[in-house]
Amino acid sequence: MGRKKPSRRDVKDWLWGYGMVAPLVAGLIIFYFYPFVQSIYMSFTKTGAFNRSTWNGITNYVELIGDETFWQSLKNTLVYVIMTVPVGILLSIVMAGLLNSKIKGTSFYRTVYFLPSVTMAAAISLVWRWIYNGDYGLLNVILGFLGIKGASWLTNPNTVMIAIGIVGIWCSCGYNTIILLAGLQGISSNYYEAAAIDGAGPWYVFWKITFPLLSPTIFFVMVTSLINGLKTFDMVYMMVPTSSPVYKEAQTVVMYFYRNAFEYGDKGYASSIAVVMFALIMLITVFQMKFQKKWVIYD
């Protein structure tokens, strides 16, 4: 195939093309691409006095491996994810299933369930902190009516992550329900009619029709919930202040990164945490992509 010399009109069109993508591409290179490379570079440096950094090889990573606070923060984050993702998704599937039945008022339910996901996490955390208050909190009052003596939820090392996890589920459940409901509504009614003619029971219909056809949507919700869970910051930051006795039991990886970078001023060390997080998220994403072939069915 011989290369044609570009005509004047082609060149003019190219210039339009470059012109239209240039502002965005320039911004992405400056504020995203370059920072990505710089973060990786900085993870191999030590931040000294006056913000001057010197190369120190893999020392940050070696230090990280021996850093108990880091491991604790990783454990806290994973506990949060393992607690919220399966329960949250299961709950969302049930709610989406109920909303998909032929009943009145579904759009009203939808709107209300969606509300927590549009509201500011900081404001939501503020009210849940108040609800969880050990002395005057609404939760303990309600439990008191039932004859249960509540704990001081956010300052007890055994309950703090559960308490935050519940808020996490409360926040995201409606959002995931909406996505799953759209997935359910996308399943053609032909399948169900055919199953009804064959006299299939509800359990059989769920496992043989609904679940496989909904699996791409479930997969999408799972990946996004997992990644969001790993990045948890706002709610924990708001509900567990630095002065809290359970600070160590609740600090997430992103919080530990934030503290190192912007409070302790150790930019090199913080970068190594960011790089490890990046690697972890990539690993999980790749793993899920591989694993999905076993259960996700795309038509």
Partner 1 sequence: MRKRDLKKALIHLILIAGIGVTILPFFWMITTAFKTQGESVQMPPIWLPSAWRFDAFREVLAKPNFLTVYGNTIITTVVTVLGQVGLCAMAGYGFARIRFPGRDLLFVLILGVLMIPSQIFLMPQYLIIQNLGLLNTIPALFLPNLFSAFGTFLLRQSFLSLPKELEEAAMLDGCSRFQIFYKIMLPLTKSSMVALSIMVMKFAWNDLMWPLIVNTSAKKMTLAPTLASMISEYGSNYPVQMAGAVLSILPIVILFIIFQKQFIEGVASTGVKG
Element (H, E) at 53: strand 53-55
Of these, 135, 189, 197, 298, which contacts partner 1 (CB under 8 A)? Answer: 135
Using the rule CB under 8 A, is 115 a contact of partner 1?
A: yes
Of these, 186, 193, 196, 204, which contacts partner 1 (CB under 8 A)? Answer: 186
Phi, psi for residue 286 in degrees, rounded to 5:
-60, -45
Between CA 208 and CA 201 the distance in angstroms is 11
Q: Determine the interface stretch with partner 1 among 8-16, 80-88, 156-164, 195-203 (rule: CB under 8 A).
A: 8-16
Using the rule CB under 8 A, is 48 a contact of partner 1?
A: no
Q: Nearer to partner 1 by C-beta: 47 or 159?
A: 47
- Tokens 């530990």 belong to residue: 256
Q: Nearer to partner 1 by C-beta: 184 or 200?
A: 184
Per DSSP, the three-state class of 52 is coil
- Token pair recorded at residue 172: 């995201």
Sign of dihedral through CA atoms 158, 75, 85, 131?
positive
Residues that contact partner 1, how many (by CB under 8 A): 91
Using the rule CB under 8 A, is 49 a contact of partner 1?
A: no
Cα 157 vs. chain centroid, distance in angstroms?
Answer: 23
> Which residues, numbered 20-39, are part of the site for partner 1 (CB under 8 A)?
20-21, 23-25, 27-36, 38-39
Element (H, E) at 122: helix 121-132
Of these, 7, 49, 54, 120, which contacts partner 1 (CB under 8 A)? Answer: 120
For residues 151 to 170, the per-residue mask of contacts with partner 1, x marking binding by CB under 8 A and - elsewhere, is: -------------------x
> Which residues, numbered 79-108, are part of the site for partner 1 (CB under 8 A)?
95, 98-99, 101, 103, 105
Which DSSP string do the residues of 207-269 spell out, in sequence order?
A: IIIIHHHHHHHHHHHHHHHHHHHHT--HHHHHHS-TT-TTHHHH--HHHHHHIIIIIS--HHH
Using the rule CB under 8 A, is 275 a contact of partner 1?
A: yes
Using the rule CB under 8 A, is 194 a contact of partner 1?
A: no
Sign of dihedral through CA atoms 21, 24, 29, 33?
negative
CB of 79 to partner 1, least distance (A): 19
CB of 154 to partner 1, least distance (A): 12
> Which residues, numbered 63-82, are part of the site for partner 1 (CB under 8 A)?
none
Q: Nearer to partner 1 by C-beta: 103 or 197?
A: 103
Between CA 254 and CA 233 the distance in angstroms is 6
Print burial letters for 10-40: b (CB count within 10 Å at least 16), e (below 16). eeeeeeeeeeeeeeeeeeeeeeeeeeeeebe
Of these, 118, 189, 202, 290, which contacts partner 1 (CB under 8 A)? Answer: 118
Of these, 56, 61, 281, 288, which contacts partner 1 (CB under 8 A)? Answer: 281
